[in-house]
Every structure is written in C-alpha cells, then in structure tokens.
Amino acid sequence: MTIELAVPETRPVPWTRRHLLGLEDLSRPELETILDTAEDFAEVSQRRRKKRAGLKGKVVVNLFFEPSTRTRTSFGLAAKRLSADTIDFTTSSSSLMKGESFIDTAKNIEAMGIDVMVVRHSSPGAPHLLAQHVGCSVVNAGDGAHEHPTQGLLDMFTIRRCKGRLENLTVGLVGDISHSRVARSNIHGLLKLGARVIVCGPPTLVPPSIAQLGVEISHRLEDILARCDVINLLRIQFERQRHGLFPSINEYARLFGMDSQRLRRAKENVLLLAPGPINRGVEITPEVADGPHSAILQQVTNGLAVRMAVLYLLCGQPPAEG
C-alpha cells in the first residue's frame, strides 16, 4: 500500500483553552486547529536544524507518576524543539516518597516558574484535579483508563495524513477497550471529526455501555475486516487487568490478532495503527507490524508534531483566558 500525503484545507480558529485535559470537551474546530497546527510543525523533524523558537523562555515539566517511554520522550523533545527549557520529574527520588501529597509536590514545582505541566497518573481525573490547584497550563499525558488525548490526536493526525481525511472513514478499535484510555480519546475525537467507529474485542474487554458514546460493538474481528478503512490494534493492558478476562494470550491472538491471513480479508488499502508498545505476536504479528500497511512508526513521528502543536497552542501564543 502506498501512503500518500494529503493535507486538507486549513480552518484555523482562535485557541482559548489553558489546559488540554481530554478530547471529550473539545469541539470539532478546536480538534482541527490542533491537527492543522501539527501540520505546520511536521516539517521541523525533516530539517537539518530541528528547532523553532515558539516556546523560547518557557519551562515545561514532565510529571510522570507511571512508567512511559514514548510519551515522556516525545513531550520532552517537542518542548526542546520549540526552544523551551525542560524538567523531568522522577517519582522515586521525589518528596512523594516522604509523604508529600500529589498537589503539594506540583505546587512546589510550579513555584520554580513552570509554564506547562505534562502529567501522567494512574488515577482517572488526576490532571483535572491538578488544573484546579495550579496557575500554569496542564496537559493530560494519560490518566488511568480515562483518556490519553495526545495519543488520540496523533492517531487522527496519522489517519488524516495517510488518507487525506477523517470524514466518512470507518475506524476499527480492536482489543482491550475496557482498560484503554487511548480508545476513549480516539472515540471522542473520531466521532466529532465525522468518522464511524467500531469497537471490537472479547465481551469481557468491551463494556456494553461504550455504545452510549455512539460506536458500534462487535465481538468478531472477521465481521468488521472488510468494512474498516483503518484498524487500530490496541495493546492488551496487562498491568490494569484482573485475571480471567480471556482464556490465554494464544487464544486472544488467534481470535483478535492481526496476521497475514486476516490482512488478506481486509480492504486493499487498509491502514494499520498500534499505540506502542506493541506486543508482537499478540495484537499483531511481526510481518504485519513491519509491513506496508502499517503506520506504527509514522505514529511516533507524528506524535512529536502533535505535541509541539499542543504545547505551542497552550503557551506559545499571547495569553488566553479559560
């Protein structure tokens, strides 16, 4: 499959939000503004000198209370490419280990002159709580099983760059829907941008209540393969699950893993996504993950542009209210 760059016409709107806590509350024009701004930053990674001055003099801190490789590194690099100063907060060496509260830790860090806090936390709503207690901008980098807005945005940005649009596309979200903050952010964003969404997985991993968000539910991957323009293969969240949600890893891979045989039943130009880290041989086989339909590495590259856009919109412009 040949992936062609097709950039839609820009439709900028004034950005007035101080925080990015989720996609549920964003409007379609706001989502499009982030994606359009990311388009402006995408070329920075192709330059010989990979720098812009949009956040010069600003300070961005990564407050990660859960392990992360891609998201933490991506936000740090995004801030540096916009010429911001950066700080990485490490839980194991912080005063949290001495009993200091989450809010007190954040307020003490803010007192050092922080402009943006990028927060990942195991508790749903933690970034929202933090935003009520600090004066700087807060970006949700994943809160429990609630949302992961920049992952949803980079997934949509990747689809838009590869397919030229999101309107009227059918996107399948396959796997551990119950525990996936990525699934929720994708659902909120994709539906607002005009896509159709099918969630697919074992009944134990797909809550019936998810249909209230406006998605279709399927429990057989074979039933949706020929209908999907994009299939996003979500990681099994072993760290958040209780035992017994499916018989075995091999059984899950046999029923819901994307392999060469299933790929032949899909649309000829189907686009495959997977938020890292991928479990090779579980959600997707190695030859498919590395094959021509896969945009997994493009997602990582595009994530940098999206996070640059988010940081710039939040604090690289004249101060906004809200």
SS3 231: strand
Question: What is the identity of the amino acid at 283?
Answer: E
Choosing from 148, 188, 192, 293, the catalytic residue is: 148
Which strands make up the sheet holding 116-121, listed edge to edge? Answer: 85-90, 59-64, 116-121, 137-143
The answer to whether 235 is a known catalytic residue is no
For residues 309 and 41, the answer to whether their CB atoms sit within 8 Å is yes
Choosing from 18, 81, 120, 163, the catalytic residue is: 120
Choosing from 70, 128, 165, 219, the catalytic residue is: 70
Tell me, what DSSP letter sits at residue 207?
A: -
CB atoms within 10 A of CB 6: 11
Q: What is the 3-state secondary structure (H, E, C) of 184-245?
A: HHHHHHHHHCCCEEEEECCHHHCCHHHHHHCCEEECCHHHCHHHCCEEEECCCCCCCCCCCC
Distances (CA, A) of 148 to 140, 164, 252, 302, 319: 7, 23, 24, 15, 25
Dist. CA 188–CA 254, nearest whole Å: 29
Question: What is the identity of the amino acid at 27?
Answer: S
Choosing from 48, 98, 242, 264, the catalytic residue is: 98
Choosing from 18, 19, 33, 71, the catalytic residue is: 71
Q: Which residues pair with 217 in a beta bridge?
A: 199
The answer to whether 37 is a known catalytic residue is no
For residues 284 and 234, the answer to whether their CB atoms sit within 8 Å is no
For residues 263 and 290, the answer to whether their CB atoms sit within 8 Å is no
The answer to whether 71 is a known catalytic residue is yes
Q: Which residues pair with 87 in a beta bridge?
A: 61
The answer to whether 120 is a known catalytic residue is yes
- Copy the structure tokens of residue 155: 């997934």
> Which helix (H) or strand (E) segment is 271 a member of?
strand 271-273
- Per this entry, what is the length of the chain? 322
- Copy the structure tokens of residue 307: 């996070």
Locate tokens 């091999």: which residue?
250
Active site residues: 70-71, 98, 120, 148
